[in-house]
Amino acid sequence: MANAAIYLFGAPRVELDGAPLVTDTRKATALLAYLAVTRQAHTRDAIAALLWPELDQTRARAALRRTLSALQHGRDLPWLVTAREQVQLALDAQLWCDVHEFEQCVAACPLPLIDADACAAYRPQLERAAALYTEDFLAGFTLRDSAAFDDWQFFQTEGYRHTLARVLDALVQCATVTHDWSAAIQYARRRLALDPLHEPAHRQLMQLYAWDNQHAAALRQYQECVRILDEELGVPPLEETTALDAAIRKHQAPLPPDHPVTAPPALAAIQPTQPPAAIPLLGRAIEWATLQADYDAISVRGGRGRLFVVTGEAGAGKTALATAFAQAQARRGAVLLATAAYPGETPLSYAPLSMLLQRAAAEPALRARLAALDPAVLAEVGRLVPTLAQFHPAGAAPPPDPVTAQSRFFTALAATFTALLAGDLPGVLLIDDIDCADRATLDWLTYFVRRLEAQRICVMLVWRRGELPAGHHLHRHAADGRRQGQVTWIDLTPLSRFDVARWVRLALPSRTTGHETLADRLYAETGGLPFFVTEYLHMLAQDDAASHAAAWRAPASVRDFLLARLAPVTEVARQVLAAAAVIGRSFDLPTVTAASGRSEDETVAALEELLARRLVIETGADRLDFAHAQLRQIVYDDLTHLRRRLLHRRVGDALAMQARRTGDEAGVAGALVQHYRLGGEPEKAAQSARLAGEQAQRVYANRAAVDYFRQALALGAPDACAIHSQLGDLHTLLGEYSQAEAAYTAALTHCSADQRADLEHRLGRLFDRLGDMAAALRHYACAHELLPSDATSLHARVLTDWSLAVLRSGEIGAAAHLAQQGLHAAEAAGDAAALARSQTLLCLLARRQGDVTAALAAGGAAVAAARQQQDVSILAAALNSLALVHADAGDPACAIPLVEEALTQATRIGDRHRAAALHNTLADLHHAGGQEEQAMAQLKQAVVIFAEIGDVAGGENAEIWMLREW
């Protein structure tokens, strides 16, 4: 009896007597992990719902049965206890799990430890627990199709990390008591790695380095603490940490304890990391590090100032990043002068600068600096801010000189800001939305930043991408400096999907499940734009039910934001944008031109305006897209019902005309359904729906074809009999036999007398698949009776299929008689496809009669004829029949390639039932050849499909599983 070991810290693995147990699927690994950790019996329904949420209860239970069967196949696993309704792992001496032992070791220790005796007594248990925790729980393992399991895994991981933190804190305490500094530092560094934002852990490591006489390491640890807190939270260290750093620098750190100590309360247990005060900075660590490094370099370079540019599209978080960074430097002691430009103040010269100077005059700390300025400088600047005359009432500006006036004024203004921003750290001049500033302000800023090399000043300008004229001197200077590495240029892009997922977890801490699904949807809705993410999460936090809605309505703030972006758009551009919104999120020039009713020149000019405003973007040589998904929806929603109908009709006509020119009517039929339906053209919509269904059927997109044909019927398409018949064929291929029968039955109510024989034939083939031979024979007989005298091809097909049903009923003589009639009818009709089908039947008859030679000849002829006809379904049947003959002859090596080709053809057309039967045949052939692993893999695939077809067909239909020849 094998001893088992389950390892769940790190990449999960299972060993039996030291050898790895290889599981066939990740679901099996997840099942063992879940049972091992929970250590209790679970109902099959609960486990099935957890691991297979995409399946209904019956199919999920079937998948669980297959997984359990695969685990136990050929193995002695007494600890895996499976009952009719429950599954569990039996905990005994034969089953060891690292998670169990980890928990037992921790449970044996009364944490926190209270004295040196406790440290000595429990240190071995704690060291064992720390050694067991090699990596995080199930590191690198995930189930992408089970959000519930991933959420369970996430919280288990957090719990074990929490416990490990307590263990490491206790080990640091134990090592400190014995002055084992090397071990204490090792445990403390591991403790800090669990949560780099846990400031007490930084202090603890600094203290241990100092006690171990590693003063340089202690000081570096403080610098690391400062860096991480700045990057992640935008805050300085606590006074307690700063004081410890100062003490270490002066070699006055507290002495190590010479007696037992109790773990500090702050270190006794890890606390959940709180979301940063400014969550919108999430995902901007690289940008923050770049800003900080270049800012710090200003002092290192000996007084060479630098221009910082933060740009990006509207809503990208430019203001949040720039403001947070500037404020972080102010908390460190830098002088900060911050303002913003506003669109309405463009006619006011120097408006942002005037505002800054007025604030400085009212600030006590800066008033003294203004008062110390040269009277001539104050007099010049007083032209802009008259209140500055209070500092030098007697000062008077020199008379204006047209040649030197501007230069003198710019110089005085630069001297004023240089004085205001002076300090131990480089001062920060921040102007947000500089693209809205007046021309005079931009000209002075160009003058000022060109002279920054002589000043210890950081000028930070924020503008919306594309809004500051590229030809302006300031833009050119910034661009030149960027190329030369003299300007720090931060171009903010949308957040990644990973960052959005982190944001979801931080912003919705009370939500315990579905984070990944919500993150996927939020990312799709917002495109990762921080402002949108913020507002949507605020909406979801207030109304959790909204997250489950089929469609999310944009929050009012997002709508207002986008409407404000639309406000300055010209009327022609609005019309083009409306036509684009009706087309869809992605559109092309010819279609939007035709739909908008504007000339090509007008449309191009409008699109150039929209591109400049970042309302649309180019996604290829000929295609454009809305910059935001919600922008398209807002534009569409604001259209009147009449305007929408008109535009949908125009778009439909434009697409149809383009398709006629290219000969690709079927390719656009799916889009035409939508536009003509919403454009009030039901007849055109129905015609397009049928065309789209036939195109989908041609490329074996069976599910899409079903949807289109149903739409065609709902829209009143003519020839309902043919459409219902096509639906029946598609449901048959999909293994949805009850729907197929309903479709054929509906077709019978709409068909003519000439069509009835064909429908009875189709019903016969349906019941033949289901193994209901009695019903199949009735329908074949009815079809034969109803056949018109001139239907020779259909006559051959009916006789052939009828013969197969009789053969499967065990009446070989009668089947042979019908087969010969079918062969003669196919030859008389000159129907090569029917002839190939007849040859396949003759092959099966000869096989039943034990005539291998005749069976091989007929099978070979059937395959050759089917290849010539390029009929996938007939070819798959012929290949399967010939393979069965080779298998009977004891030649699996010849049979296997034939079945594999037949499987490829059946899969190609989406015939799920026959694909399952072919998987089953391959399993038998591999088993006969001694290839057990391949046999098991094929059998599992067969079982999955058979089970799904059985569920859809309704009830337990064992005949479905018996399909082998057709």
H/E run at residue 309: strand 306-312
User: What CA–CA distance (Å, rounded) separates 236 from 247?
Assistant: 18
| Phi then psi dihedrals of residue 494, to 5 deg | -60, 155
At 68, is the secondary structure helix, strand, or coil?
A: helix
What is the predicted pLDDT for the residue at 261?
37
* Average pLDDT for the chain: 84
Length of the chain (residues): 966
**If you average pLDDT over residues 381-393, what whole number do you get?**
78
Q: What does the alpha-carbon distance between residue 466 and residue 611 come to, in Å, rounded to a whole number?
A: 10
What's the pLDDT at 50?
Answer: 87
Task: Kindly indicate the confidence band of residue 604, based on its pLDDT and cuts at 50, 70 and 90.
Answer: very high
Rounded Cα gap, residues 841 and 816, in angstroms = 9
561-599: per-residue pLDDT in tens?
Answer: 888 888 889 999 999 999 999 998 889 999 999 999 889
pLDDT digits (tens, 9 = 90+) for 688-710: 999 999 988 888 888 889 999 99
| 769-792 pLDDT tens trace | 888 889 999 999 999 988 877 667
- 879 C-beta neighbours (distance < 10 Å), count: 28
pLDDT tens by residue, 418-447? 999 998 889 999 999 888 888 888 889 988
For the chain, domain boundaries: 4-100, 279-492, 497-552, 558-629, 640-717
User: Strand order of the sheet with strand 19-20?
Assistant: 19-20, 13-16, 4-7, 95-97
Higher pLDDT, 545 or 535: 535
SS3 648: helix
The model's confidence at residue 273, banded by pLDDT at 50, 70 and 90, is very low
Which positions ≥6 away from 345 have C-beta within 8 Å? 351, 352, 436, 438
Q: Which residue has the tokens 């604030």?
A: 359
- The amino acid that residue 544 corresponds to is D
Sequence letter at residue 531: F
d(CA 489, CA 891): 71
Contact 465, 472 (CB under 8 A): no
Give per-residue burial for 535-563: e unless 16+ CB within 10 Å, then b.
bbbebbeeeeeebeeeebebbeebbebbe
**pTM (predicted TM-score):** 0.53
Nearest C-alpha neighbor of 487 from the set 663, 342, 311: 311
Beta bridge partners of 432: 340
Alpha helices in 133-180 (DSSP H): 147-177
The owner of tokens 């995080």 is: 136
Q: What is the b/e burial string over 57-86, where b = at least 16 CB atoms within 10 angstroms of the residue's CB?
A: eebbbbbbebbbebbeeeeebebbebeeee
User: What is the sign of the dihedral through the CA atoms of 484, 490, 496 and 499?
Assistant: positive
First to last CA, the chain: 46
pLDDT of residue 430: 95
Confirm or reject CATH 3.40.50.12780 for domain 279-492, answering yes or no: no
**Residue pair 575/596 in contact by the 8 Å Cβ criterion:** yes
Beta-strand pair 616-618/427-432:
unpaired
Q: Which contacts of 445-451 are long-range, i.e. CB under 8 A and separated by 24 or more positions?
A: 445/474, 446/472, 446/473, 446/474, 446/477, 447/410, 447/414, 448/410, 448/413, 448/414, 448/417, 449/307, 449/474, 449/477, 449/478, 450/477, 451/414
Largest CA distance in the chain: 128
The band of 233, judged by pLDDT with boundaries at 50, 70 and 90, is low
Of residues 329 and 252, more confidently modeled:
329
Strands 86-89 and 4-7: unpaired
Tokens encoding 579 = 């036509």
Q: How far is CA 499 from CA 145, 151, 336, 528, in A?
A: 20, 17, 30, 8
Topology of the domain comprising 4-100: Arc Repressor Mutant, subunit A (1.10.10)
In the predicted model, is pLDDT for residue 675 greater than 70? yes
At residue 259 the predicted structure's pLDDT band, cuts being 50, 70 and 90, is very low
DSSP structure class, residue 53: T
Q: Which amino acid is at 871?
A: D
Give the pairing of strands 4-7 and 95-97.
parallel
**Beta-strand relationship, 336-340 and 13-16:** unpaired
Q: Which two tokens stand for residue 183?
A: 């071990």
CA atoms within 13 A on the CB side of 250: 8
Give SS3 for 372. Answer: coil
H helical segments located in 751-811: 753-770, 773-786, 792-808
Question: Bridge-partner residues for 460, per DSSP?
Answer: 308, 430
Q: What does the pLDDT look like over 705-746, one tens digit per residue?
A: 999 999 999 999 988 999 999 999 999 988 888 899 999 999
**Backbone region of residue 666 per phi and psi (left: phi > 0; alpha: psi in -120 to 50; beta: other values):** alpha
Whole-angstrom distance, CA of residue 597 vs CA of residue 168: 72
Tokens for 653, please give them. 């006509």
Q: Which residues contact 592 (CB under 8 A, 6 or more apart)?
A: 576, 579, 580, 583, 603, 607, 624
Which H or E run contains 403?
Answer: none
Domains 4-100 and 558-629 share a fold: yes
Q: Tell me phi and psi for residue 93, to 5 degrees.
A: -65, -20
Amino acid at the residue 643: R
Q: What is the DSSP string of 408-466?
A: HHHHHHHHHHHHHT-SSS-EEEEEE-GGGS-HHHHHHHHHHHTTGGGS-EEEEEEEETT
Structure tokens at 700: 């074996």
- Which one-letter DSSP state was computed for residue 954? -
Q: What is the pLDDT of residues 468-523, one digit of tens each?
A: 766 667 777 787 777 777 889 999 888 888 888 888 877 777 665 677 778 888 88
Name the helix (H) or strand (E) containing 14.
strand 13-16
Residue type, 667: G
Q: Lowest-confidence range among 192-206, 396-410, 518-532, 599-613?
A: 396-410
CA distance 735 to 733: 5
Express each pLDDT in 805-845 by its tens digit: 998 888 998 999 998 888 888 888 888 888 889 999 999 99
The third-level CATH classification (topology) of the domain covering 558-629 is Arc Repressor Mutant, subunit A (1.10.10)
- Residue 112, preceding bond cis, omega within 30 degrees? yes
The residue among 302, 310, 341, 342 whose CA lies nearest residue 326 is 310
**CA 906/CA 916 separation, integer angstroms:** 9
**Residue 409 and residue 88: Cα distance in Å, rounded?**
84
Q: Name residue 487's beta-bridge partners.
A: 307
- 276: how many CB neighbours lie within 10 A of its CB? 17
What's the CA gap between 863 and 875, in Å, rounded? 6
Per-residue DSSP letter, 257:
P
Contacts of 178 (CB under 8 A, 6+ apart): 119
